[in-house]
Amino acid sequence: MAAKLGHDFLAEILRNGDLAVDGTMGNGHDTLLLAQLVGSQGKVYAFDIQEQAIDNTRQRLVSQNLFDQRVKLIHDGHQNIKHYIEHPIRAAIYNLGYLPGGDHGVITKTETTLIALEHTLNLLSSGGRMVIVVYPGHPGGQQEKEAVEQMVSQLDSLHYKVLKMTLVNRPPSAPGVVLIEKVRE
């Protein structure tokens, strides 16, 4: 339910021709969604440090006839986003943790996650939106979740609306979802 709300949150504002970022390519589910939403005139920059993620994402896009000029799959850490994108972006999604079906020992790290999120927030256009999904269930996950929630709770409310979604009748290992909207200036 939370994941669906996160997708709807981005779908509501993304238009044909927009620029979007998938900070954690993983198996390409979010990259595919963004590629559909930005349309043939748009652009999606997707990041991952694992070859397997790039391969899986490319296959997923190919299977939907969406592996074309609109998608750029970048084999690099999301903390380097500034090296690849200079223009304002309309939307971004980060699905933290490990690659489902991959090596669970390779996880996003709090330090680089926070750098990536900060740079991505700076790139967001006025009215742009970001979704962050954090998983506290794996080693280091709880610490990352707390660090992310701490960071977003300190964002200036004049510039960012920040909403945290929590599944309340679930074990504490359930993912948390944060929705952020950059306030229109």
Point out which residues bind a copy of itself (CB under 8 A): 1-2, 5, 8-9, 149, 152-157, 160-170, 178-179, 181
Give the angle 18-97-56 at the CA atoms, nearest 5°: 60
Nearer to a copy of itself, 12 or 76 (CB): 12
Question: In a 3-state reduction of DSSP, which class is residue 100?
Answer: coil
Nearer to a copy of itself, 43 or 145 (CB): 145
Nearer to a copy of itself, 106 or 167 (CB): 167
Residue that is written with structure tokens 């960071």 in the block: 151
d(CA 32, CA 42): 13
* Smallest separation, CB 161 to a copy of itself (Å): 5
Buried (b) or exposed (e) across 74-112, using 16+ Cβ within 10 A? beebbbebeeebeeebbbbbbbbbbbeeeeeeebbebee
* Smallest separation, CB 102 to a copy of itself (Å): 28
* Smallest separation, CB 181 to a copy of itself (Å): 6
Nearer to a copy of itself, 65 or 154 (CB): 154
* Smallest separation, CB 184 to a copy of itself (Å): 12
Residue type, 54: I
* Smallest separation, CB 37 to a copy of itself (Å): 17
Q: Are 29 and 53 in contact (CB under 8 A)?
A: no
Nearer to a copy of itself, 115 or 174 (CB): 174
